[in-house]
Amino acid sequence: AVNNGLPINGGSISAMFGFFLCDGPVRNFEEAKSTNSELFGKLHREMLNRGIYLAPSSFEAGFTSLAHSDEEIDQTIEAFDQSFKAIK
């Protein structure tokens, strides 16, 4: 997938999710190490600036829960969109 011209790939299992900023799937640790960690750091900072706390590394998982409302999910999606625009 691509967001504002930047590649993003990830997956989820139930409420756990993760993603990498790269083309193509990440299937193992070697592929994970070759992803753009500097760009992930920039994305992390942009998301913090918008009130969204992500795990500080793409090697960590994120979690959603029933405590997250539809409004909060929508705000998070919008924060991702704005953050991708800011770092491209």
Tokens encoding 23 = 């083309």
Cα(84)–Cα(86) distance, rounded to whole angstroms? Answer: 5
Identify the band that residue 4 occupies on the pLDDT scale cut at 50, 70 and 90.
confident
Strand partners, 7: 2
Contact 54, 44 (CB under 8 A): yes
Higher-confidence residue of 88 and 40: namely 40
Parallel, antiparallel or unpaired: strands 6-7 and 62-63: unpaired
Give 70-88 pLDDT, tens digit per residue.
Answer: 999 999 999 999 999 999 8
- pLDDT for the residue 1: 64
Residue whose structure tokens are 């190490």: 33
